[in-house]
Structure formats: structure tokens, C-alpha cells
């Protein structure tokens, strides 16, 4: 099984800050990684797929990068609507696995 280690598990940041969240896979997953945003009481929402492709309608302040085992989600300038929990998901094998999540809170 492929394990996904996401860090940090939580962070505090201010509006306008640059935020970086990382996911590390236990083995190479090529570029088969997505990022989701989840707000309380809601289903997750797709932000980025295939490592770096921005889903339609998602603001350009979100970006993704990486390859192999190490991947990054960056929010270039944190906005009030971005305070949420973020999950990575690898899909290189038959059934994907999620990272543990990163909760982004207001400083």
C-alpha cells in the first residue's frame, strides 16, 4: 500500500501570507496526485489534479508542483475563504490513498 504523509497537520497564517503544504508518498507515484479543500460540514472540493492542473473555477493563487514522491500545494496569497482543511490524494494504484490533512487556521 502507498502511504501519504502530509505536513504540517495544521498551521496558522494571516491573510496575504504565502502558504505551502507538502505530501510525501512512501513510493513513487509519478504525477498522480490531487489536492482537495474541505470546509466544515461539506464534501471536499477538487483544487488541483495530476500534480499541477488547476481545476476549472479554482483561483490562480492555488498551485501544485512535484514529482516522484514529493509534492507541494502553494497558496500564493491566503484569502479569508481559504481557511479550511486540505488533503492530498494519490491515485497511482488501483485505489487511492489520502494524506492526513492540513488544517489552515487564522492567525
Partner 1 sequence: QVRLQESGPGLVRPSQTLSLTCTVSGGSIGSGRYYWSWIRQPAEKGLEYIGRIFSSGSTNYNPSLKSRVTISIDTSKNQFSLRLNSVTAADTAVYYCARVLSGSYYEYFDYWGQGTLVTVSS
Residues that bind partner 1 (CB under 8 A): 1, 31-32, 34, 36, 38, 43-44, 46, 49-50, 53, 55, 87, 89, 91, 94-101
What are the backbone dihedrals phi and psi of residue 54, each rounded to the nearest 5 degrees, phi first? -75, 125
Q: Which is nearer to partner 1, 11 or 101 (CB)?
A: 101
Q: Which is nearer to partner 1, 17 or 85 (CB)?
A: 85
Cell numbers placing 27:
513510493
Q: Which is nearer to partner 1, 43 or 81 (CB)?
A: 43
Q: Which is nearer to partner 1, 44 or 82 (CB)?
A: 44
Label each residue of the chain as H, E or C: CCCEEEECCEEEECCCCCEEEEEEECCCCCCCEEEEEECCCCCCEEEEECCCEECCCCCCCEEEEEECCEEEEEECCCCHHHCCEEEEEECCCCCCEECCCEEEEEC
Question: What is the closest distance, in whole angstroms, from the C-beta atom of residue 4 to partner 1 in the complex?
Answer: 10
Question: What is the closest distance, in whole angstroms, from the C-beta atom of residue 93 to partner 1 in the complex?
Answer: 9
Amino acid at each position: 500500500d502507498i502511504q501519504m504523509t502530509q505536513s504540517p497537520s495544521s498551521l496558522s497564517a494571516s491573510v496575504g501570507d504565502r502558504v505551502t503544504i507538502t505530501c510525501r508518498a512512501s513510493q513513487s507515484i509519478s504525477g498522480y496526485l490531487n489536492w482537495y479543500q474541505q470546509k466544515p460540514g461539506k464534501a471536499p472540493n477538487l483544487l488541483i489534479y495530476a500534480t499541477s492542473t488547476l481545476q476549472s473555477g479554482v483561483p490562480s493563487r492555488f498551485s501544485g508542483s512535484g514529482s516522484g514522491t514529493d509534492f507541494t500545494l502553494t497558496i500564493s496569497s491566503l484569502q479569508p475563504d481559504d481557511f479550511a482543511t486540505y488533503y492530498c490524494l494519490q491515485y497511482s494504484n488501483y485505489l487511492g490513498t489520502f494524506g492526513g490533512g492540513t488544517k489552515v487556521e487564522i492567525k
